[in-house]
Structure formats: C-alpha cells, structure tokens
A = this chain, B = another copy of it.
Amino acid sequence: MADPATTPPLTRASVLAAHSLIKPYIHETPVLTNTTLDQLASTPRTPEELKGTEWEGVEKPANPKIRFWFKCENFQRIGAFKARGAFHAVERLKKEEGLEGLRRTGVVTHSSGNHAQALSLAARENGIPAYIVMPNISPPPKIAATRGYGANITFSGSTSTEREAVTKEVIEKTGARFVPPYDHPDIILGQGTAALELQSQVAASLSTSGNATNRRLNAVITPCGGGGLLSGTALACSDPSAQGGPILVFGAEPSFSGADDGRRGYYSGTRVESVKSLTIADGLRTPVGTHPWSIIYERKLVAGMYSVGEEEIKKALRLVYQRMKVVVEPSAVVGLAVALYNEEFRSMVEREAGEEGWDLGVMFSGGNVELAALGTLFGEVVW
C-alpha cells in the first residue's frame, strides 16, 4: 500500500481529489427512486408484521416519512463500489512509485471477492501485474471471474495466517505493493466518491423536478463490513458548510451470528476485532478496520449503527428484484432492510424528520450474486 506518510488527510476535500483522479476509470452510476418502496417505508408496520420480532406488542409502530434515493453501485464496473477504492489506490501508487516502477513490481492482495476483481481490473487497465491470493476453497466462478481480469492467482489455506504467509511470499518474490481491501486511507477515500455523486445527483434531480420546497438529501445509509464504504461515505457527507446542515450517515449490518460487530463496537466504545459469521450478506462478514473505525467511532462521523436479521434481508432482496427489477447482492440491501424493518431506526427517522420526512440515500453496494443460489434464497418453486 502507499506509504502512510504520504496519504492525504481523511477529509471531504480528499474525497473530492480522489474523485477527480478516478473519474476517467469508473462509471457515474445511476440513482433510482421507487414509489412503491417509498410507500412501504412510509406505512407503519402492523402488529402481525411485528410478531416474533423484538418489537412484538409495541403500542404504536413507527410512522416515518421516507423518500428513497438508491445509488446503484451494482451497475459500477466489476459490479460493485470496490472499483472506486482499487482505482484510487492504484492511482496513488502510480504517483508515488511511477507507472514504470509499478509495471515491474505489480500489486497484490488477498481476497476472494469483489476487491480481488476490482484490483485486477485497475491493474490491467494500467498494464500492471496483479497478484491475487485466494483461499483454495474459493468458489470456481469467483476464481474464473478474477482470472478473467488477467490476474495471477496464488492459492493459500483459508485462515488469515495462511493467506498472509502466502501474500508475504508473493511480495518477496515480486516486490508487488500490497493493496488491502478496506483498511487504508486511499481505499476509504476512493469508496467515498459514490456518496459525492449521490449528493449532486439528488440535488440535480430535485432542482429539475421543480420542487420549490427545501428538500435535499437528509441522510445516507450504507452497509458496513470492513467499513471502507461507510467511513468514506461519512467523509463525503462531512461538509459543515452544507446548506441545510450536515447529511447524516448511518451504518447497516446483519445481526446474524455476530456480524453486527460495528454496531456492538460503536455502542460499547471498543472495536470488535474478529467476526465469524455466515450471514447471507457475505460481503459483510469482516470486522471493521482500524482506519474506518477512527472515522466511524472516534471522530463520530457516523450518526448511528443498526442491524437486521436474515429474514429481513431476504424480504428486502425480494422487493428489490420484484419492484425495481435490478440485480443486487444480499449485502447491498441491508440498508434498505433497516429502513423498512428496524423499528428503532424508523422511530428515530419519525422523530428527527417530523412531518416533512427524509430524503434518504441508500447505497446499493454491489450486484455480484451467485445466480444459481437465488432459488435457494427465494425458496424453491418449479418453473
């Protein structure tokens, strides 16, 4: 990774600078709205719906007003926001080392998911070799996809000790620069660029729609795994001079088997350092990294953390496929699931937003889903 001594400060200005560096390489992904989902979010849940949840029997279910703005990073290159961080990390390494130097040595990471593909793509477009260390138990389609971007794949055991040992060997042999998936300022600044685009896209849309009101993007909710996207979003929204006040940023996690490490850490004051969860939101199985943590918790740039169960994630996923007709991965809809099904979040919105309601940005983080697994997820029915 780039020398920490040379990394830009973790500020909104640095996210803006990152955006101008990576703009030629990434898509400005579309922002979608959906009347049906707005109505659903703006209707109190019924006692029947709350049965079996921790809010069973509450007297007055929350009645927030929510207008969604979905930032569709599932349409981003490689199918996820990770392209932003990877392209930014490579641009920064090019500045530090020179393109020719980087072409001799290459870049390396260990990942079996979207980051592996993102780094491979960013390297290939610059003529730089990419070395990817993958667990030997990785699903064949993921291996094939990463190889499809021209990466050199080395297999390792699946524990973190094993993969780090193999990564070290690759670095010793090639001199490749390490690009971590989330725990680095350059990655965080890159991921934050999605929220910058969201801000200007919502503003443009509200101004052309002739809304004479004071409507603006009030808040953004993003999924939280390692925390790169969440902390980058928090930086991008941390403009103290913004008209109408700051844009609040919230993190969303699965609650299943401890994947809500960010939420637990946030409310206990101590970062949770390891997670072993098999949530269907497979992009969110990692603990929050130290750099993201400094932004999320220490600098309090994130206003709150919320979690939802596996059934709520599946329900939100089904709604997105049925009503919006876009392909997203389970991790991508955790923020939407919080807005639809978490009474604590919904009460807070009702309280904070009042009669006017909120224009709420939702990060659809990616769309790389195993198609063959969709049936299992949605339940089996003969065609």
Give A residues with C-beta under 8 Å from B.
Answer: 74-75, 79, 280, 318, 321-322, 324-328, 367, 370-383
Q: B375–A318 contact, CB under 8 A?
A: no
Distance of A376 Cα from B378 Cα, bound (Å): 11
Beyond the given pairs A372-B381, A373-B382, 20 more chain A to chain B contacts, judged by CB atoms under 8 angstroms and listed by A's residue number, are: A74-B325, A79-B325, A280-B383, A321-B327, A321-B371, A324-B327, A325-B326, A325-B328, A325-B367, A326-B327, A327-B327, A370-B383, A371-B374, A372-B375, A372-B378, A374-B375, A375-B377, A375-B378, A376-B382, A376-B383
How many copies of this kind of chain does the complex include?
A: 2
Tell me the bound Cα distance from A377 to B376 in angstroms.
12
* B377-A318 in contact (CB<8A): no
Task: Give Cα A370–Cα B322 distance, bound, in whole angstroms.
Answer: 9
A146 CB to nearest chain B CB (Å): 14
A318, A324, A371 pick with most chain B CB within 10 angstroms: A371
Contact call B371/A75, Cβ cutoff below 8 A: no
Q: Which residues of B contact A318 (CB under 8 A)?
A: 371
Q: Is the CB of A376 within 8 A of B375?
A: yes
Cα distance, A371 to B382, chains bound together (Å): 11
B residues within 8 A CB of A372? Answer: 375, 378-381
Q: What B residues does A380 contact at CB under 8 A?
A: 372, 375-376
A75's partner among B321, B325, B327 (CB-CB below 8 A) is B325
A378 touches B383 (CB 8 A): no
For the complex of A and B, list the 5 residue pairs with the smallest distance between their C-beta atoms, beginning with the closest: A375-B375, A372-B381, A325-B367, A371-B378, A325-B327
Q: Which residue of B lies closest to A330 (CB)?
A: B383
Q: Which residues of B contact A373 (CB under 8 A)?
A: 375, 381-383
Expressed in whole angstroms, the Cα–Cα distance for A324 and B322 within the complex equals 16
A223 CB to closest chain B CB, in angstroms? 17
Q: Which residues of B contact A379 (CB under 8 A)?
A: 372
A180 → B minimal CB distance (Å): 26
- A380's closest neighbor in chain B, by CB? B372
Residue among A328, A378, A380, A381 facing the most chain B CB atoms (10 A cut-off):
A381
Q: How far is the CB of A188 from chain B (nearest CB, A)?
A: 25
A-B contact pairs, 10 of them (CB 8 A): A75-B325, A322-B371, A325-B327, A370-B381, A371-B374, A372-B379, A372-B380, A375-B378, A376-B383, A377-B383
Whole-angstrom CA separation of A126 from B379 in the bound complex: 36
Q: Cα distance A75–B179 when bound, in Å?
A: 38
Please name all residues of chain B whose beta carbon is closer than 8 Å to the beta carbon of A370 when the two chains form the complex.
Answer: 381, 383
Minimum distance in angstroms from A226 CB to a CB of chain B: 21
Please measure, in the bound complex, the distance between the C-alpha atom of A217 and the C-alpha atom of B70, giving whole angstroms.
Answer: 31
Q: What separation, in Å, do the CA atoms of A214 and B189 have in the docked complex?
A: 42
